[in-house]
Amino acid sequence: MDHRTPVVIVTGASSGIGNACATHLAKRGYKVYGTSRNPAAYTKKADEFFELIQLEVTDSASVEKAVAEILAKEGRIDALVCNAGMGIAGSVEDSSLEEIRLQLETNFLGALRCVKAVLPGMREAKSGRVILLSSIAGTMGMPFQAFYSASKFALEGMLESLRYEIRPFKVQACLIEPGDFRTGFTAARREVAAAATSPYKKYYDAAMGVQVRDENAGHDPLEVAKLVARLLEKRGLKIRYTVGPGFERFAVILKRIIPGRAFEFVYRKYYKLP
Ligand SMILES: NC(=O)c1ccc[n+]([C@@H]2O[C@H](COP(=O)([O-])OP(=O)(O)OC[C@H]3O[C@@H](n4cnc5c(N)ncnc54)[C@H](OP(=O)(O)O)[C@@H]3O)[C@@H](O)[C@H]2O)c1
């Protein structure tokens, strides 16, 4: 990035990790455009730090309009932090195709729409950074969050391919894989309709009980924001950065080094599953 004030777009900046990123980057001197599906409902004084504009990641026209608006005002977008997302919980069998589509539309295709909208400008400028918020769930299948994991695995695969393609144009991209952070994510998570009467309910309740406990004890999202700021200022980006509670980062390493069934055993015990 050069001496001009860098322009950054942070999707999903009305809450949690996105809000922490937008605020932290604005305080560090970036020109930040945060996004929300409903900016009017946002009650914090966003305008003290960053502008909040309307963007619905499941709607291509909305994404293109938001990006065009920033380009018209600023002439360029130096970085995209693709953070907007949500979770759906329920067993594979109980999840309807409609519920599964919404998960993938939001977390995978939603991020992809944003990436596709900013790439032409970055490619022409021969400069730019894209940071995708994956998750530790993008490195391992979480019990009863199969399609949340699938949406993040999809992001991980796409990003690995994308890096080869954008390198000649001097555009860089990476993944951030957070463990648990205290945000609006837990309250916003949708339970699939059939979960309440499911034959899986006992196991679902056990595993999700552990999950929610860990999320409530999660770290401050400012930790992710500080990592994002470092990644925007660093020379070369690695493919992925894991951030969050130590035992969760350790699980990512453990999964890589021990046999698959041994890892499953540890995870089953942890999530109180038979
Ligand atoms: N919290 C964690 O422990 C954790 C762990 C790993 C990964 N992550 C990832 O981090 C990202 C941020 O999550 P968070 O924890 O900060 O959750 P959060 O507090 O619920 O914030 C989610 C943000 O995404 C936006 N959003 C949701 N659906 C959207 C849609 N269809 N179109 C546009 N914006 C949408 C929301 O904005 P509006 O409602 O205002 O539109 C909100 O600002 C997600 O991608 C999540 O998967 C979180």
Averaged pLDDT for residues 12-18:
97
pLDDT in tens, 177-207: 999 999 999 999 999 999 999 999 999 999 9
Instruction: Please give the Cα distance from 253 to 185 (Å, whole number).
Output: 25
Instruction: Confirm whether 1 is domain-assigned.
Output: no
Instruction: Confirm whether 97 is domain-assigned.
Output: yes
Ligand 1 center from residue 42 Cα (angstroms): 14
Pocket test for ligand 1, best of 24, 33, 37, 53 (most atoms within 8 A of CB): 37
DSSP string, 14-52: TSHHHHHHHHHHHHTT-EEEEEES-GGG--S-GGGT-EE
Instruction: Confirm whether 87 is domain-assigned.
Output: yes
Pocket test for ligand 1, best of 10, 17, 131 (most atoms within 8 A of CB): 17
Q: Binning pLDDT at 50, 70 and 90, where does residue 99 land?
A: very high
Q: Which of 15, 91, 135, 148 is catalytic?
A: 148
- Answer yes or no: pTM beyond 0.95: yes
Instruction: Confirm whether 2 is domain-assigned.
Output: no
Tell me, what's the pLDDT at 4? Answer: 87
Instruction: Confirm whether 51 is domain-assigned.
Output: yes
Averaged pLDDT for residues 101-124:
98
- Domain count within the chain: 1
Helix axes 246-257, 260-270, angle to 10 degrees: 150
Contact 54, 91 (CB under 8 A): no
**Does the pLDDT value for residue 249 go beyond 90?**
yes
**Backbone torsions φ then ψ of 76, nearest 5 degrees:** -170, 160
**Does the pLDDT value for residue 239 go beyond 60?**
yes
Residue 164, beta-bridge partner list: none
Helix (H) or strand (E) holding 60: helix 60-74
Instruction: Confirm whether 107 is domain-assigned.
Output: yes
pLDDT in tens, 114-159: 999 999 999 999 999 999 999 999 999 999 999 999 999 999 999 9
| 16 conformational bin, left if phi > 0, alpha if psi -120 to 50, beta if neither | left
Ligand 1 is surrounded, with C-beta below 6 A, by 11-18, 36-38, 55-58, 83-86, 106, 110, 133, 135, 178, 180-181, 183-185, 188, 215, 218
Instruction: Confirm whether 15 is domain-assigned.
Output: yes
Q: Write out the residue range of the structural domain in which residue 264 sits.
A: 7-270
Task: Name the residue among 261, 264, 233, 228 with its Cα closest to residue 243.
Answer: 228
Tell me, what's the pLDDT at 180? Answer: 98
Contact 117, 9 (CB under 8 A): no
Single-letter code of the amino acid located at 262? A
Could you give the percent of the chain with pLDDT greater than 90? 95
**Does the pLDDT value for residue 1 go beyond 70?**
no
Residue 130: which CATH number? 3.40.50.720
Instruction: Please give the Cα distance from 252 to 218 (Å, whole number).
Output: 17
Instruction: Confirm whether 67 is domain-assigned.
Output: yes
| For the CA of 20, the nearest atom of ligand 1 | 16
The overall average pLDDT reported for the chain is: 96
